[in-house]
Amino acid sequence: MAPRVLDGVRTVLAPLARAATTPLLPADYLDLLAPLHPGAHRARVVGVRRETDSAVTVALRPAGRWPGHRAGQHVRVGVEVDGVRCWRSYSLTGPAGLDGTLTITVTGVDDGRVSRHIVERLRVGTVVGLEGPDGDFTLPDPAPAKVLFVTAGSGLTPVMGILRTQLSELPDVVLVHSARTGREVLFADELRAWHAAGRLRLVERHTATSGRLSAADLVELVPDLADRPTWACGPNGLIDTVADLLDQQGRLDQLHTERFRPVLAPVGRGGQVTFGRSGPVVEADGATSLLEAGEASGVLLTSGCRMGICHRCVVPLTEGTVRDLRDGALTSVEQGDPVAVQTCINAAAGPCRVEA
Amino acid sequence: MTALQHKRTSPIAHLTPADIEQLGKELDALREEILADRGQRDADYIRRVIKVQRGLELGSRAVLLASIFPPAWLLGTLGLSISKILENMEIGHNVLHGQWDWMRDPAIHSTTWEWDNVTPAEAWKHSHNELHHTYTNVIGRDNDLGYAIMRVDEDQEWTPLFLGQPLWNFVNMLIFEYGIAAYDLDLGAYVTKQRTDTDRLKAGAKAVWRKARKQILRDYIVHPLVSGPSALPTLAANVVANVARNVWTHSVIMCGHFPRGVETFTKETLDGETRAEWYLRQMLGSANISGSRLMHIMTGNLSYQIEHHLFPDLPSNRYQEVAPRVQQLFERYGLTYVSGPLPKQVASAWWKIIRLSLPNDFQPGVRRQKASGVTESAAPSGRNPVAV
Ligand code: FES
């Protein structure tokens, strides 16, 4: 009875609220009074803990009820850097806490405006965007008896999520982790303690002294490699090494990978522009606007002033980099964080894709 | 360049094409300087304005629930009027210009924004951002010159219809949001049969109706009904707030291009116009309003009309900051920076509308001109260093 009454109230109230707040939505006002209302894709930063000199673990409390995630999955986190909303994906480094708190661990990289902002400036109490979870860098159910994880740098984070959640179900784990130095190993105390207690075998590779991990190294370090389904996460070089090795062994089907940095498109003058998911691919030089390049090959693009003042020509840039023809400013997108750009005053700066 | 052939000297006769290109470069540099500095401070500004506006709106609507008591009515109506003005001017107009697109916040973005106005954002972006800002003050191309129902320049041809223009302007002022909707539809051109693509008109009218219906429902039905015993006073409050917003926005917008000292241009100006020449046209074709900080915010910083027309997609809070430097450029290049307090500019615009309701023969100090002296032939050669 009670739920039905509630439903009835809702079917009357919701349209009424919408009619009363048009052209905005009731949520727009709710956001004002309670930015962390249950329907908001947001979270509050409830803790920032330093892991290494360049990495922090951020504890997030989601606004609504957390739907749950599988170990190894990532979330999209939206932070504001100098007024610009930027979204990045970060692996969850553990199960949700009792109060629904999630943790991510972020390493500041030199050219990463967003990661550096998080490491250097993010404060407890900040409200950030939160979407997800996503990803299939997860263990199957039931988990295999023997597992190998190969990671480097912050590629350790999804694996840490898996270990903290599922280590007790995993009888035989080998983790080969590369970091520049011993000081830079993330979660070092926890991992070394597990190793000491015989719960996993940890192989640390300090690349500053021993060089990058090669296929031969891996074969030597893990003699029963062939028996171990493998999960690898790290820079592209590492993943390629592991993939080539398993390919030679005819075991590519036993490799699961996650690249923690997307393959970055090169920045140049001009480049291949792809319009839409399946639209034409156009070779455009550095002086031709995306608008002209598209129109020349018959793409229907909206435009207005064609001189950068009216914003009628704005479309999402989903891949690559473009250069503003007026001042040379570059706009790059990271995977999953499209940026709306004006096609009339931007030219390709390397291969790129716009949604037309 | 200018269409005011009855003026003895062109306001730019002293500038060589090289001067103009140099001026353009200086303005480009100014723009880049602000872009480089744009950041958190600006983002915080617009968020704060939005917060204040929505808070004010919620609060005023709440007070109006008790509007059967006159003090509550007065307070609520005042608050609602201010909130509607802020929403249209400092927020809506500027967001729709893409001034805040760089924040990449989908909630404050020109492609997703819809405003508290009967004309849909899409239609406005076309007629305002695209046509008016590109063809500013070009007679025959910029419909903002008199909104196609009035004569605001000597070089617009006089017809007896214009005798009534002080009245049209007054009525348009009261119902301005509907005037804008009609203007965005280019209704006048259909009435006079200059345009015949009626499919566009039908589609546009449908979109306006869809939008207007919701606006009317909200202001004149939902909120009054929710107010119960205060229904009628609440209805009245909404009417007053909408009219107040109409009068205010109409007055501010009139000050942008109609006051004395603002130049108009012939269609030939557009032929091969460079970016620098476009800048120059914006400088000569716009007028500012001087006043307090509050006044500037209430006008959506359209009081910095000149700066806004030079840099239509820079964040509005920056216009005030660049104004002194823009003014210096005017001085250095020997141009007139038209500016004045609101009452003076409004009066000046109204006077023009009243004056030009009569044919040129009745204008004091204006050379006699045949009624057929249409603008195409208005720019005599040799006086036109820009549009060669
Ligand atoms: S077409 Fe006007 S900004 Fe691009």
Strands A339-342 and B288-290: unpaired
Model confidence at B205, pLDDT cuts 50, 70, 90, reads very high
Residue A77, strand partner residues: A88, A130
Chain B residue closest in CA terms to A21? B218
SS3 labels along B207-244: HHHHHHHHHHHHHHHHHHHHCHHHHHHHHHHHHHHHHH
d(CA A112, ligand 1 centre) in Å: 30
Neighbours of B126 (CB within 10 A): 19
**Residues A319, A349: Cα–Cα separation, whole Å:** 11
What is the pLDDT, as a whole number, of residue B241? 98
**Residue, of B33 and B363, whose pLDDT is higher:** B33
Does B217 contact chain A (CB < 8 Å)?
yes
Please name the residues between 227 and 256 in chain B that touch chain A, using a CB distance below 8 Å: none
B339 three-state secondary structure:
strand
Domain assignment present for residue B367? The answer is no
A41 and chain B in contact, CB less than 8 A: no
pLDDT at B379 over 60: no
User: Is A80 at the interface with chain B, CB within 8 A?
Assistant: yes
Interchain CB contact of A85 with B (< 8 Å)? yes
Which residues in chain B are contacts of A329 at CB distance < 8 A?
35
The answer to whether B125 faces chain A, any CB pair under 8 Å, is: yes
Would residue B90 count as lying in a domain? Answer: yes
* Tokens linked to A231: 């999960």
The pLDDT value given to residue B38: 95
| Interchain CB distance below 8 Å, B126 and A304 | yes
Nearest chain B Cα to A20, which residue?
B218
CA distance A222 to B113: 57
Which of B:102-121 have CB within 8 Å of A?
102-105, 107, 109-111, 114-116
DSSP 3-state helix, strand, coil percentages of chain A (rounded to 5)?
30, 35, 40
Which residues 56-75 in chain B show a CB within 8 A of chain A? 58
A311 lines ligand 1 (CB under 6 A): yes
Mutate to test the pocket of ligand 1, among A305, A322, A341, A354 (most ligand atoms within 8 A of CB): A305
- Residue B29 pLDDT: 95
- pLDDT the model gives residue B328: 97
Give the per-residue pLDDT at B378.
Answer: 33
Beta strands in chain A (DSSP E): 42-52, 55-62, 74-81, 84-91, 102-107, 127-134, 146-152, 172-179, 201-206, 230-234, 255-259, 271-275, 281-284, 314-319, 321-324, 330-332, 339-342, 346-348, 352-354
For residue B273, the model assigns a pLDDT of 94
Confirm whether B71 is domain-assigned.
yes
**Structural domains counted in chain B:** 1
pLDDT (0 to 100) of residue B373: 31
Strands (DSSP E) along A33-191, which ranges?
A: 42-52, 55-62, 74-81, 84-91, 102-107, 127-134, 146-152, 172-179
Tell me, what's the pLDDT at A263?
52
| Average of per-residue pLDDT values in chain B | 90
- Helical axes B176-185 vs B198-216, angle rounded to 10°: 160
- The DSSP letter of residue A212 is S
State yes or no: pLDDT of B52 exceeds 90. Answer: yes
Which residues in chain B touch residue A342, judged by CB atoms under 8 angstroms apart? 98
ipTM of the complex: 0.85
CA of B134 to the centre of ligand 1 (A): 10
Show the tokens assigned to A94.
């553990």
Percent of chain B with pLDDT over 70: 91
Asked whether residue B145 is assigned to any structural domain, the reply reads: yes
Chain B residues with CB-CB distance to A16 below 8 A: 222, 226
> Angle at Cα A228 formed by Cα A222 and Cα A234, nearest 5°?
75
Name the residue with tokens 């005819």: A250
Does the C-beta of A344 come closer than 6 Å to ligand 1? yes
At residue B215, the pLDDT reads 97
Q: Could you tell me the pTM of the whole model?
A: 0.88
A328 in B contact zone (CB under 8 Å): no
Angle subtended at Cα A125 by Cα A122 and Cα A128, rounded to the nearest 5 degrees: 65
The answer to whether residue B270 sits within a structural domain is: yes
Nearest to A304 among B41, B55, B130 (CB): B130
B51 vs A: CB within 8 A? yes
A309 lines ligand 1 (CB under 6 A): yes
In this prediction, residue B371 has a pLDDT band, given cuts at 50, 70 and 90, of very low
pLDDT for B165 beyond 80: yes
- Identify the residue whose tokens are 């943790």: A103
Q: Does A311 touch chain B (CB under 8 A)?
A: yes
- Residue B181 covered by a domain: yes
Domain extent for B64 = 5-362
Out of B35, B103, B223, whose CB is closest to A85? B103
Within a domain: residue B136? yes
B111 interaction partners in chain A (CB closer than 8 Å): 311, 314, 340
CA B232 to chain centre: 33
**The pLDDT of residue B366:** 54
Q: Is residue A305 lining ligand 1, measured as CB closer than 6 Å? A: yes
Does the distance separating the beta carbons of A312 and B130 come in below 8 Å?
yes
Mean pLDDT per block of 10 residues along chain A (356 residues) reads 71 91 93 91 96 96 93 94 90 89 92 90 96 92 95 95 96 97 96 98 96 96 96 93 95 89 67 86 91 86 86 92 89 87 94 90
What band does B243 get if pLDDT is binned at 50, 70 and 90?
very high
Shortest distance, CA B7 to any CA of chain A (angstroms): 30
Nearest to B92 by CA among B66, B119, B121, B64: B121
Residue B372 domain-assigned?
Answer: no
Say if the Cβ atoms of A310 and B42 lie within 8 Å.
Answer: no
Q: Is A308 in the pocket of ligand 1 (CB under 6 A)?
A: yes
Q: Where are the beta strands (DSSP E) in chain B?
A: 288-290, 339-341
Instruction: Decide if B287 contacts B305 (C-beta within 8 A).
Output: yes
